[in-house]
Structure 1
């Protein structure tokens, strides 16, 4: 499977391969939320949860882990998704999502 460049949303770009994608931030026009320190080579990661997103949110609340944003609807690699954003211990931005019908 080949990776391809695609445009989505309001002119944003991503590299897509199968049902995965890597969103590209353009220096000076980063979108929110973004990496704690957006520098060249930094990536934000998105994972599709194996359980309902409400279960993910409940788990974060039980662990007192702060949710940066969400749940919000977003554009996924293959379809609309519902996401929450958290930071890992190294302050990387992690998006956890569920697919929407």
Structure 2
């Protein structure tokens, strides 16, 4: 019945800091659509941005910042990702560590976005 994820919604308290993290640090592309809506596009997926207190309808029952735990697969070797994050002054909170991904074992690092969501960046082993 379900083939893949198209998008998810991230609720933020600071839209500019959110965009800076995902676009400036992680290299996603900012997309504007509809009536003032914004999304973070990467590959064939996107993350729609909602600002706390100004969410678009319909929305989650209790949309809150700091509730996501996202895992992204890197488009380059994880060691290159680590070097780029460190060069940009980003704090890696854990890793690299081995984990279990959707299609097999992965090697991962963890950091937090400006809303303190847990962001995992991984490569397949």
Flag whether TM exceeds 0.5 (same fold).
Answer: yes
Residue in structure 2 matched with residue 75 of structure 1 by the alignment: 100
Instruction: Work out which of the two has the higher radius of gyration on C-alpha atoms and give 1 or 2.
Output: 2
- The aligned counterpart of 1:56 is 81
Distance (whole Å) between structure 1 residues aligned to residue 73 and residue 85 of structure 2: 16
Higher helix fraction (1 or 2): 2
Alignment RMSD, CA only?
A: 2.0
TM-score by length of 2: 0.48
Which residue of 2 is the match for residue 97 of structure 1? 122
For structure 1, list consecutive stretches of 5 or more residues without a partner in the other structure.
3-16, 20-39
- Paired with 1:78 and 1:60, the residues of 2 have a C-alpha distance of 25
User: Unaligned regions of 5+ residues in structure 2, if any?
Assistant: 6-61
Question: 1:43, CA displacement in angstroms?
Answer: 2.5
Distance in 2 (alpha carbons) for counterparts of 1:84 and 1:93 = 10
1:45 aligns with 2:70: yes
